[in-house]
Structure 1
C-alpha cells in the first residue's frame, strides 16, 4: 500500500520525531511563546485539509503549460515547529512540482538550530542559518541572493497555501516581469486555527502614519471589473506574501537593508515598484491562509516593535514621499526625532532608476488618500487627559473648520453646558463637531 501523499513528499524526514521534541508541557501557557495557541497547532500536526475559498470560476481558469519555476523563501525566528512544517508541507502538497524549484528556509538565529536543519531532510528544502539576528528584511535579501529560480516567492512562516495558489501569480509575472503580485490572504484563527475566507473586495491601503489597512476597492474600480477573477490593482501590499521576478527585484534594489527587523518594508517596496515602472496586484484566484497575531512574540533591538516601525517608516518617507512626508510627520510626530541612518544609497537608487515623484503616485495610484494642502491646515500638540493621564502629547490638526487627529475629530456629546467632549469619525455636516478658527 502506498503511503499518503504528504509522507511521500518528505523523503527521509521523520515528521513524528520532529514535532514530538517540542510539544507543549502540561500547565504551560499555549500562547506564551508564539502569540497563538500552539497546543491547537500541534494537535493539527504537519498537514490538514482546508476549504477551497476561491470564487467558483477560478477552478476553470487555465494557465500556460510552460510556466517558470520559483524559489520560495520563508524566513523565521523561533517559529512553532508544527506551524512551520505545515507551511512547508502545504507548499509541497498544493503546488505543481514543476513550479517549485526549491524552498529556502532562512533561520534568523532561532534558539534551536535544529528547527531548520532537520527540515532540510525534506526534498527541495534548503536551510540557511544567520549567525546573528538580522530580521525579516535582511533575511529575505539573503534568501533572494541564494535563490536559483527566475521568480521569487516570499512567504511567511505561519501560512497554509490553498488550492492552485501558485499558478495565477506566476502566470501574471511571466506575462509582465514588472508586476508584483500577491494572493488574497485568508485568516487562520490564532485561537483554534480555523481557516476563514477573506473578502475578495479588498485592497491594501494606509493612513499618513504609514499604518497598513485593508480597505474596500473603490466603487469605480469595482464597477470596471466585469469578472470577479480579474486582478485587483492595489496601492500597497501587506508584504508578507508576494511573487516577483528575480531580475526585477534585483534591479529595483531588493530591500532597504538598513531597515531593522520588521515593519515599513512593504511601504518602501510598494512605493518603489509603482514609482519606478512596475505595478502591484492582488489575485482573487490565489489564496493563502495566514495566522494574524495580536502581538509580536519575539524581541526587538530597542525593546518594542514601535521603535523599528518608526525608524523604518521614516526611512521610507524620507526617500520616497517628497513634500508629502510632512503629512507622515504630522500623523507620527515621534518619528521626527528618530535616528534613521544614511539614506544616500537609496536616494541614489531612486535617481538612477529615474522614478516618478510621489505626487504622481498620489494622483495615479492612490488618489483616494485624503490630504489637505499646507495652506489649509495648521498643526499643534495638545495633552488630552481622561481618567488615566497620557503623558505624551498627541498631534492634532486644525483643518478648517474641524479639529482632527487622523480620521477622528473633536465633538461635543450634546448642545448643553458641561457636555463632554469626545472623539468620533470626522463629518463636516455634523454640527456637534467642534468648529473654530483658532486652536490654542
Structure 2
C-alpha cells in the first residue's frame, strides 16, 4: 500500500508538471507580447505581420507539447493528460484570437481594434476602431448623428475615411441615436481599422438630433469638430478651407457648400448646384440665399464645423432643445451675438442626400415621439425687444434661464446687432419694410387676398398684408422708365448686332424673339421681356444695385409673388437677392403692376384676376399703409445701442 501510494503521487506530480509545462509556455509568450505593448490591446498588434508569426509560434508549441506528452505516458491518465492538454491549447488560442473581434472591458479609452469607451451623461456605450493620434491638435473630429440608416451610415463613414488624410482626421464619431438593430453591428464588420471610427449609442433613443450631436461634440478629441449628416459624401480636399478658416478664428462656425448626392454612386452629382447661406425671419423660419459675401446669418442644419474650444465655451446647443430643428438658427445667432461669426468655405464641397417621396430609399426611417417647439426657444432667448414680432405676439412660455446666464457670462450683444450686421439682407431685401399695405383694384374697389398658392379679389377688410421686397438686381428698370418698355426703343435699321451667337442687322429689337434672355445678350440686354441695347438699358435701369425692392412679399411670411399666370400671381419662397426673374414685380408711376415677362396684372369681368398687355392693364392702389413694429423697433435700437454704418453690412 505505501509503495502504491508513492507511485501514485509520483505519477500525479509528473502529470501536473508536464501538463503545466506544455500549455503554460504559449500562454507565457502571449503575456510577454502584451507586456511589450502596454499602450495597445492584443488586437492592435495582432494585425501586424510579426504578430501573425507569434500566433504561428504558439500553435507550434501546442502541437509539440501534445506530441511529446503522448510519447511519455500511456493508459487512462496519459489519455486524460493528452485530452486536458489539447483542450487547454484550443481554449488559449481561441481566447487569443477572439481579442481581434470582441471588445475587452476597460474603464478608460484605449487604442486598439475595438475597445469600450467609458459611459457618460449622453451615451451608454461606445466603440473605437483604429488608433487615435496624439491630443487632436490640428486635426478634425467628424461627428455623424445617425438613426436607422445603416447602409447610408456605412457609405458616409467610408467616404469621410477615404477622403480625409490620416494626418488630418482625428476620428469619425457615429452617434447611434437608438437605431434597431444597432449600427455598430455592420460598422464593426465593414469599416476598416484605419478609419479611426468611434460609435456612441443612445440605448434609450431616439433622443433627437440635438442631443445626438451634443453627445458627439462633447466626446470629440480633435481641435476642430465637424458635424455632418449621416447621408453625405465630401469632395476630396473638403477639409482644407474649413480647417484654415477655423485656425484663423476660434469663435467661428464654418459651413461648406452643399451639393446633391447620387445615392447609387455615393458621390456628388456633377453640376447639381450648390447651396450654403441662409437667412432667418422673425418667426425663426429660414431659407436659402446667396451673394458674394463669405458670411452667413444662419445655417441650414446638419453641416457645420467649429473649434472644440468654442464648442465648449459656448455650451454646444441649447440644452432645452429636443427632437429635431431649431439648432440651425439658435447656434449661429448665439455665435454672432457672442463674439463669433459664421463663414462659408466655398471650396469645401459636401454632397448631401435630399429626401424625396419619388425615391423611397431617401425617406426618413424614424418617427418623432413628441413635438417640441425649439424655434420658440430661439426667439425667447435671443429676440430681445423684437420678441413681440414672434408669431404675431404670442410670446413663447419656455424656460431659457440657462441661455440667459450664458449670454451674461459671454457678454453677448442684443439682437438688434444681428439685424444691423446683416442690414443688407434685412433692410435692402425689405424684411424691415418701410411700409406694409394692401393692394386695391381701382376699378372694383376690392383688394387682393391670398388663397392657396394664388390670390383673388375680396373685400379689403380681409385683404392680405403685403410690402415691397427683394433686392434690385442688375438691369432692373426704374418705375418711371417702364412706359418706355411698352414701345421698345428703335435701333438703327442698319446696325449689325451680336445677340449672343446670332448676328442680326437692325439692332437689338431685331434679335430672335420668344426665346427669353438667352437670345438677348452680348451687345444687348434683356429688361422685362424687352431686348434692348445696353446703352438703352442703362437709361431705364435703377441704380444702385442691391437696394430694395424688386418684388412683392407677404408680410410675416417666407413667400413672395412668383410668376404671373392667367389667374394672377402665384407664390414661392422668396429669393431675397432679386435674381429670380419670376419674382420680379413692380408698380409703375401710373399704378400698373408689371411682371418681368413684360405683362401686367389685370382684372377680368370685374371679378377675376388675369395677365395682359400693360398698355391697357388695370391700375392698382396701395391702401391702409403703415410702418410696422419691427422697423420702428430697429430704428430705435440703432440709436439706443449706437450702431453705426462702420459695421459691415453683409
Q: TM-score range by the shorter chain?
A: 0.5 to 0.7
Q: Go from structure 1 to structure 2 and tell me whether the alpha carbon gap of 1:371 and 1:386 turns closer, same or farther (over 3 Å shift).
A: closer
In the alignment, the residues of structure 2 paired with residue 173 and residue 372 of structure 1 have an alpha-carbon distance, to the nearest angstrom, of 31
2:242 alignment partner in structure 1: 169
2:378 counterpart residue number:
316
Cα pair distance change 1:408/1:182, threshold 3 Å: closer
Pick one of 217, 224, 227 that aligns with 1:154: 227
> 3-state SS of the aligned residue for 1:106?
strand
Residues in 2 aligned to 1:299 and 1:320: alpha-carbon distance in whole angstroms: 29
Pair 1:216-2:284 in alignment: no
Pick closer, same or farther for the CA change 1:198–1:281 going to 2, 3 Å. Answer: farther
Query: What residue number does 2:420 align with?
Result: 363
Partner of 1:235: 297
Residue 278 of structure 2 corresponds to 204
Q: 1:436 to 1:417 in 2, by over 3 A?
A: farther
Distance (whole Å) between structure 1 residues aligned to residue 252 and residue 465 of structure 2: 37
Normalising by the residue count of structure 2, what TM-score does the alignment of the two structures yield?
0.46
Task: Verify: 1:102 aligned to 2:154, yes or no.
Answer: no
Q: Distance in 2 between matches of 1:246 and 1:160?
A: 23
Which ranges in structure 2 are unaligned for 5 or more consecutive residues? Answer: 1-99, 102-135, 357-362, 439-447, 454-461, 469-551, 562-567, 570-592, 594-600, 612-616, 627-650
Counterpart of 2:425 in 1: which secondary structure? coil
Equivalent residue for 2:623? Answer: 436
> Which residue of 399, 404, 412 corresponds with 1:347?
404
Instruction: Give, in whole Å, the separation in 1 of the partners of 2:463 and 2:352.
Output: 34
What residue in structure 2 maps to residue 128 of structure 1?
200
- Which residue of 184, 205, 208 corresponds with 2:257? 184
Question: Pick from 370, 387, 393: which aligns with 1:325?
Answer: 387
| Residues 397/259 of structure 1: CA separation in 2 closer, same or farther (3 Å cut) | farther
CA distance in 2, matches of 1:266, 1:395: 34
The Cα offsets for residues 340-391 of structure 1, whole Å up to 9 and x where unpaired, read as x311111121122111111111111353124566995589xx996679xxxx
The residue aligned with 1:277 is: 339
Matched, 1:74 2:129: no
Q: Structure 1's 120 and 102: CA in aligned 2 closer, same or farther, altered over 3 A?
A: farther
- Cα distance 1:398–1:384, how it changes in 2: closer, same or farther (>3 A)? closer
Partners of 1:140 and 1:102 in 2: how far apart? Answer: 15
Aligned length: 339
Matches within 5 A, 1:365-384: 365-369=422-426, 370=429, 376-377=435-436
Aligned equivalents of 1:100, 1:185: Cα separation in 2: 21
Listed as ranges, the gaps of 5+ residues in structure 1 are 1-11, 14-65, 222-231, 388-393, 424-429
**CA displacement at 1:191 relative to structure 2:** 8.6
Q: Could you report, residue by residue, the CA deviation over 1:394-425 in whole angstroms, capped at 9, with x for unpaired residues?
A: 9953659x8934344697952354332599xx
Q: Which residue of 2 aligns with 1:427?
A: none
CA distance 1:347–1:86, change in 2 (3 Å): same
Gap change, CA 1:254 and 1:242, over 3 Å in 2: same
CA distance in 1, matches of 2:366, 2:154: 19
2: distance between equivalents of 1:433 and 1:120? Answer: 67
C-alpha change, 1:375 and 1:82, in structure 2 (3 Å) is closer
SS of 2:153's equivalent in the other structure is helix
The CA RMSD over aligned residues, in Å, is 3.8
Tell me how far 1:206 sits from its aligned partner.
3.1
Q: Quick check: 1:415 aligned with 2:484?
A: no
- Pair 1:404-2:554 in alignment: yes
Measured at CA, do residues 205 and 118 of structure 1 come closer, stay the same or move farther in structure 2, by a change above 3 Å?
A: same
Inter-CA distance 191–102: structure 2 relative to 1 (3 Å threshold): closer
1:203-237 superposed Cα distances (whole Å, 9 cap, x missing partner): 3223443333221205xx4xxxxxxxxxx211112
Highest Rg: 1 or 2?
2
Q: Give the superposition deviation at 1:179.
A: 2.2
Q: Are 1:88 and 2:145 matched, yes or no? A: no
2:212 is aligned with 1:139: yes
Inter-partner Cα distance in structure 1 for 2:452 and 2:273: 37
Give the structure 2 partner of residue 224 of structure 1. Answer: none
Superposed displacement of residue 170, structure 1 = 1.2
Name whichever structure is richer in helix by fraction: 2
Task: Tell me: CA distance 1:436–1:365, structure 2 relative to 1, closer, same or farther (3 Å).
Answer: closer
